[in-house]
Structure 1
Amino acid sequence: MSLIATLLFCVYLTFLKQTLQLSCSSEPNCRCYFYRGMLIADCNSLNLTHSPRFYLNIRWILLYNNRLTEIPTDMPQEIVKLDISDNNIRNPKKVVLSRYRHLQWLNIGYNCLWAGHREWPSRFFENLKKLDTLLMNDKCFEIPDSRLKEMKYSNGSFYGLSSLRHIEMNGLGGHNFVDAFEKNNSVEVLVLSIQSGRCFLKSIENDTFYVFKQLKKLTLLNCEIKYIEKGAFRHLYNLVYLDVSENRDLTLSVLPNITYDLQYTKIHTFTANSLHCKNGLSLILRISHIEYLRNTLLRELSLGDNRIGIIEHRLTEYLPKSLTYINIKNNPLIYGEYIFEGDFLSNLERLDSDRTNKETFHELGCNYNSNSCNKEKEITVEETEYKESPPFNFYQLPPKLKSLSIANQKIFLPLIDNAYGFRSKNSLKHLHVQGNLIYDIQYFSGLWRLEYVDLSNNFCFNITKQSFRNMSNLLFLNLSRNLLGKELKRQSAEHVFDHLHGLKVLDLSYNWINLLYKDVFVSMSNIEHLNLSNNEIGSVTFDLSAALKLRSIDLSSNKIVMLDSKAMDFLDALREKQLSIQMSNNPLQCTCQSLKFLKWMKASLNKHFVGRDDYTCTFTDGKKIELAPLRPDNYFFRASMYVIYNNYSHNNHYFTGHNHSYIICNNV
């Protein structure tokens, strides 16, 4: 070890010793450590009913998830960060909080701050001039919803917070933010969300947020909003982020009001997921819903889970060219002309239109208890069940699109040769089409940049040497949970993967494979991970000797009883790194015929069998044992006997003795 290395090691040991011996409070279970030059006292989740005494040099105190009933009175007055959330603090005292004038970050949420109050006290935080972040979202379920809807912030509730930039709070029925905050406040981030506290806002009107001139990020998540007035966001000139998701009484009909206002802001991200009735009729996303967005510099648009069935023709022309991401997940989209209009989104890099929820495609009817629910029938059940694409079409992808997800949409591609393609002017690298009905993987032109493809769970039973002809840059291919077993054992399978010279990961699990053609992988010289698990493979007949970069192969949950000499030679090829083999849950046999394989598996130096000692093998009489006791260097092996069975048994092939059992194999 060099002198410099020795000195550095000594410094590290000194620092470690000081850290381990560090003390910061009267509570021995509190952890004390430095972070960014501040000494932190971490006393969270200790079931404390009273705050411990802290050393005066502490600047950050964590007391969340305890049983405190009041704000501690004797903490160091110089603290800058305090977290006393998730306790049982009721009726917090203004005079106590005023002691900590240097606070910059305060979390007093998840207590029961509103117990006994209908209004938040006026000027409660006025002495905290340096406070930058305030988290006071409360979830006191002792207060009934009917009462919470009547509560409000009193005039001047947040006066004095001249440095406040970020606040998370309850949205109350009597939302009088204009009176509660000073006109020259510095708030840039406002979060009103059921995830950060209970929220009941009913409606958003022109003057609701008028006082927040500096506001940049506004979250109104699941606040039971029933109406948003046109002009409600128009005065928020600095707004870059708006989330109005999970207010299902709004429906898509609120979008014109919101998008009209956004053209007067600096909006970059607009999220409006789950606005439509959860079990309502599928709708058409119309130009009138979003037309004003073309006057913005919007980068991210999210309209997921809104039961959108069709996108109106030419709608993409009204979206801003600045868009880089669109999310329309969990919508029952069906085939429409909008599929061919991607060239208008010239800067789009990612499009997510997959379905990740468990809902069926059947329409359950509109929730007529909601006054704002659109009762107009626009798309029928029959139209949304399957989406069949017409033949001989070339799809125009946005030229900069790198990631496309259309998973679980029940898209049906029929068996038509050379029917589909993408115009060559595209940048697509990631394609997720799992969970559809692609029975036949044909030749798709224009996808030469692809690096990642997921075609799993498509009921696919046919692939040919043309299927991946245009995907020479592919690195990851998932074909799991299909029906390719019959196709891959034919001689024609020899060339199926010929064009995938750079492929590193191939997943063929759950494909009903019982036999693979011997040369099916011969062209895959760069393959690193091969998954053949959960099939019906009885023997390894395929050649892997050319796969010198192979790092792992998963053969688990098949029907392999042993590997023959040729298969062992395939796996014994000298590789760049140790090969990891998974063979669990196979019916391995403990017989004289499998002895060579068992010995090879146990003694192998350039291979690692994952969980090998937990593998089991079966004797001819049906009894099973774990392979852990296998010892290829045992002296009995030299006498043509092998230790592999630990329970008492006796037949022609093995006997017990000295707490072990032995198979007798002659001329081994």
Structure 2
Amino acid sequence: MAFFISSIVQITVLYFGLLITASLGKENWDTCHFGSVKCLCQKGKGQTNLLKADCSNRGLRSVPVFSSNVTWIDLSNNRIYWINNWFPSNVTYLDLSRNSLYRLYGHPFRGLYNLKTLNLERNQLNQTYFYEGFFDDLHSLTELNLKSNIPTYIPHGYLNDKEYSKLKSLQTLKMDGIGSLTFGKGFGRLEKFQKLDVSGKTGNCSFERISKDMFLYTPRLVYLDVSACNILEIEEGAFGNLKYLEHLDVSFNQHLGFWSLPNITHDLNKTSIKTFLAKGINCLAGMSGTILKHSLQYLQNTKISEINFEKNKLEHFELGLLRVLPDTLTTISMGEMELAQGIFVTDYFLFQNRQFYNISLQMRSIPYQTFDSHCKHDRYRPRMSIEYFNWLEYDNEQREASSSTFISRKKWNDQFLVTFEFPKTLNVFHGNMSRLYGDIPEFKINAPGLREIYMQDNLLYSWDGPVHGIENIEIANLSNNFCSHISKSFLEHARGLRILLMSKNNLGRSLLNDVGGEIFRNTVSLEFLDLSDNNITVLSAHMFNNMNQLRALNLRKNQLLTVNVKMKHMRNINYINLEQNRLATIESESRTLFKRLFQTSKLVIYFSENPILCSCDNIDFLEWITINRLHFQDFFHYNCSFSSSHEFNFMSVMSAKASVTSMKETCKSSIGIYMYIAIATGVLFLLSIVVGIVLVKKIKCNNRNAETSV
């Protein structure tokens, strides 16, 4: 029981798709020509004389001559290797990504005083070769993207910062990080420079060390991404001079290890840090790690709101680690790790401001190590603090006293229930694939702010309950838990549920025995119910009696032979999935019900991969489904079962109607023949009886005559 609740956390909702995804394309774009080049153009909003020009994917080798009213140009995915024509002076957006630019001569961006966004990503440019005058006219440029160009080594960290210093309006710079990269004094003149992205995830990045001087001249940075750069070391206090820094991402530098956390976080209390991402910094091929209290102590006096340690090989963290973090922290994410279930989990429940916990995917196997399998940080073994060893020596009574901060026994309706106390601000509760095993007994949670629970992909094989205190929960995912039993009282207090996902279990027998529809009797707010892949053979007529708000019902991949559920009250339903069942037909009573729903809602039924019986006995259903084909998704892909006595063509409207007409005539003729045969058989039967009676009487008469003569 304690094991079950201790791993419950918060995550992002993944709403189950209900409607068909519409294809996206460019609307209101017309063909236009610039010389011999054909592009797509769109008029600017409110300014009919200005144009957006999309000339991407045209196989161009040079830049077309654009008219002066073009203000937005997309030349991406071409084969342009040099800029031979100047661009109109009114251009504010220019995309030259994914071309073959390798050397820019002269002044390729002359006169572009209004240009705000310049994308040179994925070319063959050398970012150190920006000669004097290259950026002269880009006075308004706010975003520059130089990602994934030639991975050129930068000797002594040299960048032509004098040239970059001319970009007075620059706010965002995305570039490759090669060699011992350092941002010189010229960057200090960029008063609006706030976002720097040198991540190797989206470009080339490989520098071994971040020194204290690397960002000395970029003090106004708010956003810094140095992820996936093969960094071996970060010098203590390297980010301390970034007074305005709010977002720091050092993820996927697998050689850093947890031992580097004190250096990374050192002096972050001098910044404005809000988000700290350190995903995948511990080598997956090495030993499981531990995060100690002193690793994050410098975050104590910050206003940080999110910490992410996902995808690390972390087994546990020191007791009290989370307690050194400030009350402003609302999101802690430790998914896809190897967290053990230890006494340290008591820290999860001591924070009244937490809104999001994630320790999911603990059962997922470690991915194949595609990087350097030798962990350079293995030689560094951090020391655990004395407090940790003292904790190991605590007796059981002391541990229980510590745990009582979130577990208690309280009286509830004249009985004492185990009660779990959660932060009042917690609104998402996520523990999918977290090695949870066993049944769900009766207990109570005290979490007034909780709205979403995700517990899929565990081994919670029996749902007994009831679970008290869940009246405000709106979304619950219990899919793929190998559950074969759900009690009639399990959802007794789930009156606020809007979305309930219970797919990939084995609830068929429990639902079969629920003749009165008691399991879902209190889920009066439910809008979406997923019972797919549950080995369901029969649903009682009253199963969904109280679901007046239901919009979508997923019964896909079960063993249903009939659909006799009452749905007259479901005025809002617009999606029913009955695919991959054993439905040969839909009975007359259900067809009448569906017909009424077709008139009052936009109901769509998914019925493919069912063994539809194409025979004279089922002609009424075949005619009905043809008439209402617009309400049946993928109607033209339906097929008759192998046991069908007739053929039916679902391929088109005309063929389906023709099949109905043909079957009616065939069945009518067959009925006439059957009646003739039946009548003839009856007449012959009567004649045989009459003849038999006559023969019997004649035989008796002959016998009496013979006796008389004797």
Say yes or no: TM over 0.5: yes
8 Å Cα contact 1:125/1:159 also seen in 2: no
What TM-score, normalized to structure 2? 0.78
8 Å Cα contact 1:349/1:400 also seen in 2: yes
CA distance in 1, matches of 2:548, 2:204: 58
**Which residue identity is paired with 2:462?**
D
8 Å Cα contact 2:230/2:255 also seen in 1: yes
Partner of 1:555: 578
TM alignment of 1:298-447, pairs within 5 A: 298-355=304-361, 359-360=364-365, 369-373=374-378, 394-412=419-437, 414-415=438-439, 417-418=441-442, 420-423=443-446, 425-441=447-463, 442-447=465-470
**Which residue identity is paired with 1:44?**
S
8 Å Cα contact 1:24/1:55 also seen in 2: no
**Which residue identity is paired with 2:640?**
C
Cα drift, residue 429 of structure 1: 0.9
Pair 192,642 (structure 1): closer, same or farther in 2 beyond 3 Å: farther
TM alignment of 1:216-295, pairs within 5 A: 216-295=222-301
Of the three residues 27, 44, 59, the one matched with 1:35 is: 44
Map Cα deviations across residues 107-161 of structure 1 (whole Å, 9 max, x no partner): 22211112xx8765466424433322221223336x6xxx568774246342322
- Secondary structure at the aligned position of 2:51 is classed as strand
TM alignment of 1:521-540, pairs within 5 A: 521-540=544-563
Partner of 1:617: 640
CA distance in 1, matches of 2:320, 2:203: 41
Partner of 2:657: 631
CA distance in 1, matches of 2:150, 2:72: 26
Pair 560,515 (structure 1): closer, same or farther in 2 beyond 3 Å: same
- Secondary structure at the aligned position of 1:568 is classed as helix
CA distance in 2, matches of 1:59, 1:132: 16
CA distance in 2, matches of 1:21, 1:273: 45
Pair 98,472 (structure 1): closer, same or farther in 2 beyond 3 Å: same
Larger radius of gyration: 2
Cα drift, residue 290 of structure 1: 1.8
CA distance in 2, matches of 1:296, 1:541: 60
8 Å Cα contact 1:319/1:345 also seen in 2: no
Computed over aligned residues only, the root mean square deviation of the Cα atoms, in angstroms, reads 3.6
Q: Which runs of 5+ in 1 are unaligned?
A: 1-18, 379-389, 644-651, 656-661
Of the three residues 131, 138, 158, the one matched with 1:128 is: 138
8 Å Cα contact 2:237/2:265 also seen in 1: no
Pair 400,666 (structure 1): closer, same or farther in 2 beyond 3 Å: farther
Between 1 and 2, higher relative CO (CA 8 Å, sep ≥ 6) is seen in 2
**Which residue identity is paired with 1:33?**
Q
- Secondary structure at the aligned position of 1:495 is classed as coil
- Secondary structure at the aligned position of 1:469 is classed as coil
8 Å Cα contact 2:360/2:434 also seen in 1: yes
**Which residue identity is paired with 2:456?**
Q
Q: Which runs of 5+ in 2 are unaligned?
A: 1-27, 384-406, 409-416, 680-710
**In the alignment, does 2:588 pair up with 1:565?**
yes
**Which residue identity is paired with 1:67?**
R
Cα drift, residue 666 of structure 1: 10
Pair 623,352 (structure 1): closer, same or farther in 2 beyond 3 Å: farther
TM alignment of 1:634-653, pairs within 5 A: 641=667
Partner of 1:66: 78
TM alignment of 1:169-188, pairs within 5 A: 169-179=175-185, 181-183=187-189, 185-188=191-194
Partner of 1:581: 605
- Secondary structure at the aligned position of 2:184 is classed as helix
8 Å Cα contact 2:333/2:358 also seen in 1: yes
Q: Percent identity?
A: 26
Cα drift, residue 47 of structure 1: 1.0
Partner of 1:383: none
CA distance in 1, matches of 2:432, 2:516: 27
- Secondary structure at the aligned position of 1:86 is classed as coil
What TM-score, normalized to structure 1? 0.82
CA distance in 2, matches of 1:462, 1:336: 29
**Which residue identity is paired with 2:141?**
L
Partner of 2:396: none
CA distance in 2, matches of 1:635, 1:371: 77
**Which residue identity is paired with 1:599?**
E
Partner of 1:4: none
- Secondary structure at the aligned position of 2:315 is classed as strand
Pair 621,431 (structure 1): closer, same or farther in 2 beyond 3 Å: closer
Map Cα deviations across residues 515-537 of structure 1 (whole Å, 9 max, x no partner): 22343222323322111110111
**Which residue identity is paired with 2:481?**
N
- Give 1 or 2: higher helix fraction: 2
CA distance in 1, matches of 2:549, 2:180: 65
CA distance in 2, matches of 1:56, 1:33: 15
- Secondary structure at the aligned position of 1:404 is classed as strand
**In the alignment, does 2:529 pair up with 1:506?**
yes
CA distance in 1, matches of 2:373, 2:101: 41
Pair 24,240 (structure 1): closer, same or farther in 2 beyond 3 Å: farther
Of the three residues 195, 201, 212, the one matched with 1:189 is: 195
- Secondary structure at the aligned position of 2:97 is classed as coil
CA distance in 2, matches of 1:294, 1:250: 22
Of the three residues 575, 597, 617, the one matched with 2:621 is: 597
Bigger mean CA deviation after superposition, 92-101 or 301-310: 92-101
CA distance in 1, matches of 2:358, 2:440: 27
CA distance in 2, matches of 1:608, 1:119: 62
CA distance in 2, matches of 1:416, 1:73: 70
- Secondary structure at the aligned position of 1:156 is classed as helix
Cα drift, residue 203 of structure 1: 0.7
Partner of 2:93: 81
